[in-house]
Amino acid sequence: MASIAENIAAIQNRLPEGTKLIAVSKTKPNEVIMEAYDAGHRVFGENKVQELVAKYEALPKDIEWHMIGHLQRNKVKFIVPFVHLIHGVDSFRLLKEINKQGKNISGVIDVLLQVHIAQEDTKFGFSKEELLEMLESDEFQAMEHVRICGLMGMATYTEDNDLIKKEFGSLAYLFGELKASNFREADYFNQLSMGMSSDYEFAVQKGSTMVRVGSSIFGSRNYN
Ligand SMILES: *Cc1c(COP(=O)(O)O)cnc(C)c1O
């Protein structure tokens, strides 16, 4: 079996220059994360606030932590002081809470807006219409403690590669449209987070700038 370091190197080799590999370490113990760390990796993703905070506290402080999962509003305050990027902002109410907590620490929190691109209705995210409505509202435009760095999406879990490519393509298209309109003046609007172990190569073909890969690095997860 390949080591964690070898898995990371193999994936890096398949990513274009400048595409960020987020090692999704959810459910994995600190010793396993340290194996990746000792191999030089510094960018990790978690999807549960409690686990993210515990790992942040226990592990080296030069790790860049990404919150990739669904985030509950009452937990925003626990991660705002240290999180590098919040990927799954899927409602205006959540964004408002992040803005409020950003204000409390006199900071500006980097986030991605999650767009619903999959066929399953279990996956969170804005529709295009909801997104545009929010972006055009006065309340959105007045927010000073969040910075929208781009979009995030998850494709349908399917063997149908054409569907996956189509979904990633639609997110990339929306990203391009927003870059040319609402975010025309915003050079920080430049991240497109899409792709996981099973589909990151398609995501990269469609212009992903950040892939979130767990099981292809760390092996499968045991939930209990
Ligand atoms: C778990 C998770 C991933 C990584 O999934 P793998 O299939 O293990 O690569 C990516 N994104 C999100 C939002 C996740 O929750």
pLDDT at 162: 98
Share of the chain above pLDDT 70, in %: 98
Q: What is the phi/psi pair of residue 107, to 5°? A: -125, 180
Token code pair at residue 104: 């409390």
Question: Across residues 152-170, what is the average pLDDT?
Answer: 97
Question: E strand or H helix at 156, and its extent?
Answer: none
Minimum CA distance residue for ligand 1 atom 7: 197
Q: What is the pLDDT of residues 115-135, one digit of tens each?
A: 999 987 766 899 999 999 999
- For position 123, what pLDDT does the model report? 65
**Collapsing DSSP states into helix, strand and coil, what is residue 26?**
coil
pLDDT at 119: 86
Residue 103 CA to residue 101 CA, distance in Å, equals: 5
Instruction: Name the 3-class secondary structure at 151.
Output: strand
Instruction: Please give the pLDDT value at position 222.
Output: 74
127 lines ligand 1 (CB under 6 A): no
Q: What is the pTM of this model?
A: 0.96
Q: What was the pLDDT predicted at 2? A: 86
In ligand 1, the atom with minimum distance to the C-alpha of 26 is: 1
Amino acid at residue number 68: I
Per residue in 40-89, pLDDT tens? 999 999 999 999 999 999 999 999 999 999 999 999 999 999 999 999 99
Please give the Cα distance from 115 to 152 (Å, whole number). Answer: 6
Q: 23 φ, ψ to 5°?
A: -85, 110
Residue labelled with tokens 């991660």: 79
Quote the ligand 1 centre to 66 CA distance (angstroms): 12
Residue 213 Cβ contacting ligand 1 at under 6 Å: yes
